[in-house]
Structure 1
Amino acid sequence: MRFGILSPVVFRPPGQFSAWETGAGPDELVQVAEAADRLGYHHLTCSEHVGVPARIAARANGTYWDPLATLGFVAARTTDIRLATHVLVLGYHHPLEIAKRYGTLDRLSGGRVVLGLGVGSLKEEFALLGADFDGRGAAADDAIRALRAAWGQPLPEYEGTHYRFRDFLIDPHATRRRVPLWIGGYTRRSLRRAVELGDAWVPFGLPIEQITTMLAAVDRPEGFDVILTPPPLDPIEDPGGARRHVEQLHAAGATMMNIVLRHRSAEHCVEQLAAFRQLFAQAEWPAGTAR
């Protein structure tokens, strides 16, 4: 089992963020990121939305820091922790745009980028950006294949159903030929997409029982990850509850988790990260961490 964190400050869904995050900024983000890096957490995340309709933001979440800018900033202040988009909306980007921009970040960060990808669900945002909403599923599948072909290539070539390219120099580009692709979603199609085209499935908004049933219906490739998110945990005040939630998700099929912690400040978040690390000391932590 490996553990990453849903980064505080940059993404504030109801029920999963603390009041102090509303007024927090780069200093607090870096404080938490540096601690997670030092303690050996696998990854931190940053999600994407260009603009959230006001009617949704008023009752849900409207805060989404730009992932490329944010992860680039965090990359300069960390050394080992992976930098995961969670998730990029494929319909908002050309595959070569992702390969160029995040390939540059991958080079700058020493090969630490993880691309979480999704098809998107906000019809108004698609319209705002002039993107095709109704055909987004088929386009996303082709975009993933195109991205596989383009990643780490100076002169990529691809001929697909929606994307075609050749004879374009992409420089700089990633120095490695393969990047982990985590596919987000909550449908059976998202799971099939992950199994067929990706390296991991990152479901959201689903009960554990449904996740277990869906996973049982597919044959997962060797090394395929299932990344689940427990409810906010308090390893200092309720270590037993934290352990129960993690064990429950592990039993459901999780090989990795995005954890959210209860905290009152950036300093308290760092304390919680350390307490969680100690509580699960036998998990898969990189050697030499907790420095």
Structure 2
Amino acid sequence: MRFGFIGSYGTPQQQVRLARACEEHGWDGFFTWDGVSLDEGGFDAHPTWDPFALLAAAATVTERITLGAMVFAVPRHRPWEFAQRALTVDHLSGGRLVLPVGVGVPTDRAFTSVPGQPTALRDRATLLDDVLAWLERSWTGETFTRDGELLSTGPFRFPQAPVHGRIPVWPVAVWDAVRPPRRSLDRALRWDGIVPQVRGESPEDAEAGPADVRRLVDWIAAQRGPDAGPFDVVFQGRLDADPAVATRQARDAADAGATWWLESWWDPTTVTPEWLLERVRQGPPAVG
């Protein structure tokens, strides 16, 4: 299992320093996040930054670690601009970009304050599928048109493919062992990994625990079959300050089948950029 760290707060300079510290202190990935103007108590006091700009800067000060954002709110991006920015960071980093993607949060004014933007969950999900299909076509190097349910375009061509031919996509999907929501799960199965969530009232409540991940991994294996290729399962959590406890937490997630642990600290009343940097400098736990 690999370990990534989410830079939840800080100036652009602090975020880039955090990314460099992640590489220096043994982490496997640095992730920013994608929001514009959040109408949500606490979070609206913090500035937001363009994720691709931050990741481009992080790419220039790192050589090894994976780069991404938790998560890209794909439905509010123009697909041709999203494709171009992703391709730029992919090449600048030597192919280290991944794309965790979702429908976006309804508290972002970039949805609610802009006429014509999709706000209903069903519409955002449909547009997410349309944009991902458009993105994949852009990687072929061929001229293409797209006639989707909510997105249609005339001819486009991106003559340069991603470094590795494609950029890994990790859709967010809700996991419910009793009644699996097939639309979001099937979307993830079409791509390269999954960011699982369970039903909850807060971001922390929605994080899947080891037991949830174990059941999900078993379900994925049954759906994909024995000959399927690699597939990432992303676990979001917070490692304990006690190294022994942190090691047990990470081992539980790895044993459940997670391939990534993403260190996720979001409380806007307690988390500071300086505190995040100190956490990064402690490094990830060693899991044998």
**Alignment TM-score, normalising by the size of structure 1:** 0.76
Taking the aligned partners of 1:57 and 1:172, their CA distance within structure 2 comes to: 42
Taking the aligned partners of 1:42 and 1:122, their CA distance within structure 2 comes to: 31
The answer to whether the aligner puts 1:113 opposite 2:113 as a matched pair is no
Question: 2:113 is matched with which residue?
Answer: 128
Map Cα deviations across residues 39-82 of structure 1 (whole Å, 9 max, x no partner): 453221111111101xx233788554320111111111111212
Distance 1:86 1:26, change over 3 A: same
Taking the aligned partners of 1:120 and 1:86, their CA distance within structure 2 comes to: 10
Distance 1:88 1:49, change over 3 A: same
On the 8 A contact 2:25/2:282 being kept in 1, the answer is no
Distance 1:177 1:95, change over 3 A: farther
Question: 1:6 is matched with which residue?
Answer: 6
On the 8 A contact 2:33/2:71 being kept in 1, the answer is yes
Aligned partner of 2:236 among 229, 237, 247:
229
The within-5 A match list for 1:2-151 is 2-7=2-7, 11-12=8-9, 24-53=10-39, 56-58=40-42, 62-122=46-106, 125=109, 126-129=111-114, 130-134=116-120, 135-151=123-139
CA drift of 1:102 comes to 1.4
On the 8 A contact 1:152/1:175 being kept in 2, the answer is no
Note the residue ranges of structure 2 that are not aligned, 5 or more in a row.
176-180, 198-205, 266-270
On the 8 A contact 1:230/1:246 being kept in 2, the answer is no
Taking the aligned partners of 2:245 and 2:80, their CA distance within structure 1 comes to: 44
On the 8 A contact 1:4/1:43 being kept in 2, the answer is yes
Identity of aligned residues (%): 28
Taking the aligned partners of 2:67 and 2:108, their CA distance within structure 1 comes to: 28
Distance 1:177 1:80, change over 3 A: same
Distance 1:63 1:214, change over 3 A: farther
CA drift of 1:38 comes to 3.3
Taking the aligned partners of 1:147 and 1:47, their CA distance within structure 2 comes to: 20
Taking the aligned partners of 2:174 and 2:16, their CA distance within structure 1 comes to: 31
Question: 2:282 is matched with which residue?
Answer: 272
Question: 1:190 is matched with which residue?
Answer: 184
Residue range with higher mean Cα deviation, 91-100 or 39-48? 39-48
Aligned partner of 1:177 among 146, 165, 178:
165
Taking the aligned partners of 2:119 and 2:13, their CA distance within structure 1 comes to: 37
Map Cα deviations across residues 208-235 of structure 1 (whole Å, 9 max, x no partner): 244444444442443111110222432x
Taking the aligned partners of 2:45 and 2:208, their CA distance within structure 1 comes to: 20
**Alignment TM-score, normalising by the size of structure 2:** 0.77
Distance 1:191 1:60, change over 3 A: farther
Taking the aligned partners of 1:40 and 1:154, their CA distance within structure 2 comes to: 39
